[in-house]
Structure 1
Amino acid sequence: MSETSPSLVPQQELWQLPAGELAVLLREEFVSWWRQESRIHRIIAHLDNGGARALGYTGVAGLVADIARSSGPGVKKLVKRALATNPGQGIDGAEIPAAAPVGGEAVREGEISPEHVDGIVRVLEKIPAAVSGEDREFAEQTLVELARRAGVREIGKAGKEILDRLDPDGPEPRDIPEPRRELNVHQRKDGSAKFDGYLDPVSAAKTLALLDPLAQSSEGDQDGELVRRSRAERYGDAFMEIIALAASHPESPNRSGGRSGLIVTIPLDALKKELGTACLDMVTDITASEARILACDCRVIPAILDGDGQPLEMGRARRLVTEALRFMLALRDGGCCFPGCSRTPRHCEAHHVVPWAHGGTTDLGNLVLLCAHHHRLLHRSDWTLRMVDGLPEFTPPEFVDPWRRPRTNRHTAQPRAA
């Protein structure tokens, strides 16, 4: 058998090889592919340890989707696979062991495929927390050894048998009936809040009917919202979109009848430079960058502070974007302007192309609509935005596109009738 790999065999000569040799060459290419993906796994795992956030992304999945120019379940599986087979890093810098280290090593050796790893991880995720570490390690080792000689389907069957032995009784039934509706709010010292609760089936169905459409990507959406953020992040953003819609209703309990009204206190220099901190509603500290995001589309009360932080002058609350101007933005942009995003106007915020703190005007030529996710990304990353012939044009960072070729959203790039 020839030792020449397919990459070195001219395409016109492949047809001359016997079928047996072609099959062996295909096997070699698969092994090489698996090993290459394991190297990609390692890079993704390292970027997950703070690297993605340093580049302005809320999670590593969004960064991977932009670099790979891809979206959908494939990217989601790739990231999950990478994080499961490589150690992570805690907030204190301590190493967090990988969930499937043996499977990761087998992929690096080219002995099993990434799909085998997916099946193994699915089984490991179902092992009860009460099972000892030794039993968990033995389960993974057993599945990896099976994967070296069997297909993915066999992994699922063997995993079910292992789970039946480790947890023969299944989860214990609850003796105490659940309440119909319950919501606990834990306010923290830094101003953030943690929620947990329970909804009966009818209440849950009504709630999810509102949350699900906002948390999922639209059909054909190239934005990749489904993979750019975790499920918890997507539903958290969906919850805040519902809050924003409720707050803008004329009969809202907060009587605002418009966009959010917030008091942000910050020195003018800090707002311009996006360095330092600001005070939200007189209580909570936020970064200057977050204050600048709020200044795009919230009702703000400017306060001029002296060098010692004492207020010198207090201005009137000013609505930066009027409802009439927002209507004109909706007509022009048709939704989020970020390339590939299909969020509708009602789920978007107005963004100043030239920042308001730097003298940017609040008019149609200096405003674009962005969904909350892409609004944060634009403020916190190296993506840039400019207006070209009255339409928004985005330039990606070099790590997304080395040539930094400008991009537009298909629904904002279309010619418009006069």
Structure 2
Amino acid sequence: MKSQQQKQIGAALDAIDAGYAQLRAACSDSVGNAFRVEVAERLERQHRVNRGQMYRVFGELIEPPDGPDDPDLPKGTVISKLLWQRLRITSGDIKKRIIIAGRIRPRRTLTGPQLPPELPCLTEALENGDVGEAHIDAVCEGVDALPSRLNHRKGTAERILVRHAKEDDANFVAKTARDIAAELSPDDDFDEQDRRRKSGFRMGKQRVDGMSYIAGWADPELRGYIEAANAAVRPGRHQPHDPVTDPEHEPENDHSPADAEQFELIDDPRPELDTDAPDDAAADAADQTADEPSGVEHVAVELDTRSAAQRLHDALKLGLRAALASGAYGQHRGLPVTVIATTTLAELDQASHAINNPAIPMPPPARTGGGSRLPMRDLLRMAANAIHYLAVFDDHTGRPLYLGRTKRIATVDQRIICYARDRGCTRPGCTEPGYHCEVNHEPAWGKGGQTDADCLFFDCGPDHALITKGLLQTKITDAGRLAYTDDTGPPEINLAHHPEELLKELFDDDDP
């Protein structure tokens, strides 16, 4: 005989089944896309609420509040095996659901009293249908990435991640989680020798089709070069069948005619590159190879303690460094393809002293145009050996103080300001880095917009199209940032590329 609770839950499930039967039978041929989007939103929320209830059931199956013995089940029944049989899901899926249920459901001590869930903010969001599976994974992975010495920060980290999970997609949450881990683990926490030992690539045997598999770890400097090179080899540029061209004779415009309206600000002649100046390190190596006897070269090899993987890593780095310095990649959106880094005046000054004084802590890493973190030691070393762009900002006002470059071209300077100030697309929630963005006017050029640094901002192509179509409106805030609105709420700025602002409460609000 069914209990009152069983009848109540069964009746609710019957009502849900009946509702879905009516929904399946309903015709939707002429409801319009606006209504279909509304239906999709409601179905997604219902799916999330349903998943929250599923975790509730899994949690109670593992720790039954009414005890493990059930007269309706054969004695010795293994619940996981029964779930595998009845739900027809893999054992791995069952295990994952059990683990998540254990983290978002109330816990019991050995003596019986209940404890709150490990992740209370995530529990509430899931019960309300505010987050999906990908959000759950991103939040859990973000919290788990923090070391045990930062346990007192995990509550704040979870709160930040769940708040953004309610507003943004899982990719944004995952990026925020990485920013949290980076902000709470300063660059000094990672020994340079540890990085040196870990860096390296391994190349597998060549297959019959001529292909070889490469895998490994890139240090921050190499990643910076790869980001810059990858930005140059975008759709339509540097394709395998293209002839090798002299960068001095490449066309000045690096965009298609369709981009012309968006790039009016960089129609001036591009800066000329000194392609005759070789990279210092590469030149030194070439001179030694040419001038020194073979015996000296043999000694150098004997003193090299790098593994084969590390040498391959460094070979790739050397090649990219030389290629970037030579100008062979041409231009990317009006700039010679190179590494762009952003820091503050105080951090640059502190780093220059910390290099020679171990008592001075190394400041946080600079940010590259690709969105990665570049340790200050690497930044200073790179800046000393090659042509790169370095934008220095005031610590308090956030206004640009200095642009370190070899030539001064106004429109190029303005683009660098966008790299340094915006770092990426300015539309709230967008995680596209600066290398993937266009510079656009606010107000629009056709509406009298000025080609001044304070009136130029980064947008990725799809988001700029939304502005052009009038689906998004923009305005410049008092702080000089671009804010967006779709007329359903107040204008907002994008914090995705500014973890120091996004994660401010990590340092202002300690957990008890």
TM-score, length basis structure 1: 0.36
